[in-house]
């Protein structure tokens, strides 16, 4: 029973750690995708570049708010709905920019970055929702309870009872199970995915000039 418990602990810990790594990688990929798309939005002609940057600031602000706490399912659905609305608004902005300026070199790069940002959102949501199956957790609890019960029973049959090793092993097993649950939880606990990439991206977008391309066009026209 103790061997089976050790197998279940290692198996469940590996599952939780794999999902933790996937969530951490998804945060970094989304931060990079948002930052790249926002940077290339500055290539759009005025006023579409400035309007797109406003939408990007709100978009990344939603991500930062979700990173600072553990949202409820209703709050998460609301944030996803608003993110989808911003994505649609960004797409309308680039379509309008194409009708005004069909220079495909800068606009095509922006569209490519925008599509990647849309795809990465779904990848991150999938990673967030991917937890250790509840049946695996219940199986772990059941095997741990039976193993500890048999260990206590065998210890009680001995003439010279050594309770300290049993207590110590029980504490260690409990600590490992709690660690597995802590790794598998989203946004809270001692082991949490760092949201610093998203925070850094939000700060970078907030420091972008309002409309760099528009300023250059204005200076060019003044020079004429």
Per-residue pLDDT reduced to its tens digit, 68-100 = 677 788 888 999 999 999 999 999 999 888 887
From the list 11, 3, 8, 14, the residue with the least C-alpha distance to 183 is 14
**Euclidean distance between CA atoms 87 and 43, whole angstroms:** 18
The yes-or-no verdict on residue 187 having pLDDT over 60 is yes
- Name, in order, each residue with C-beta under 8 angstroms of 6's C-beta and a sequence gap of 6 or more: none
pTM beyond 0.85, yes or no: no
Q: Which residue has the higher pLDDT, 217 or 126?
A: 126
Q: What average pLDDT score do residues 190-197 get?
A: 88
Task: Find out whether 8 and 143 touch, Cβ atoms under 8 Å.
Answer: yes
The yes-or-no verdict on residue 150 having pLDDT over 50 is yes
Kind plus residue range of the DSSP H or E element containing 173 = helix 163-184
Could you write out the DSSP letters of every residue in 107-146? Answer: HHHHHHHHHHHHHHHHHHHHHHH----HHHHHHHHHHHHH
pLDDT at 31: 95
pLDDT at 53: 93
The yes-or-no verdict on residue 221 having pLDDT over 50 is no
Range in 19-23, 174-178, 188-192, 219-223 the model is least confident about:
219-223
Q: Give the CA angle between residues 108, 224, 220 to the nearest 5°.
A: 35
Residue with tokens 């005025």: 46
pLDDT at 212: 46
- Spell out the domain ranges in the chain: 2-212
Cα dist. 1→10, 116, 142, 149, 193 in Å? 14, 48, 11, 10, 34
Tens digits of per-residue pLDDT, 203-219?
999 998 765 444 444 34
Task: Find out whether 59 and 48 touch, Cβ atoms under 8 Å.
Answer: no
């Amino acid at each position: 029973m103790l061997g089976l418990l050790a197998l279940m602990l290692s198996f469940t810990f590996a599952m939780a750690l794999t999902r933790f790594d996937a969530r951490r990688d998804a945060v970094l990929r989304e931060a990079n995708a948002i930052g790249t798309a926002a940077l290339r939005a500055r290539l759009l002609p005025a006023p579409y570049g400035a309007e797109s940057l406003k939408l990007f600031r709100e978009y990344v602000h939603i991500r930062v708010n979700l990173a600072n706490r553990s949202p409820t399912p209703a709050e998460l659905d609301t944030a996803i709905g608003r993110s989808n609305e911003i994505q649609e608004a960004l797409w309308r902005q680039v379509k309008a920019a194409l009708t005004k300026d069909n220079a495909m070199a800068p606009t095509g790069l922006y569209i490519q970055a925008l599509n990647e940002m849309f795809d990465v959102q779904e990848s991150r949501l999938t990673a967030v929702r991917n937890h250790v199956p509840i049946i695996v957790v219940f199986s772990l609890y059941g095997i741990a309870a039976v193993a500890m019960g048999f260990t206590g029973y065998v210890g009680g049959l001995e003439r010279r009872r050594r309770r300290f090793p049993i207590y110590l092993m029980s504490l260690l097993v409990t600590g490992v199970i709690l660690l597995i649950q802590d790794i598998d939880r989203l946004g809270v606990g001692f082991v949490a995915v760092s949201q610093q990439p998203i925070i850094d991206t939000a700060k970078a977008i907030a420091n972008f000039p309002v409309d760099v391309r528009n300023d250059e066009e204005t200076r060019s026209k003044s020079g004429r």
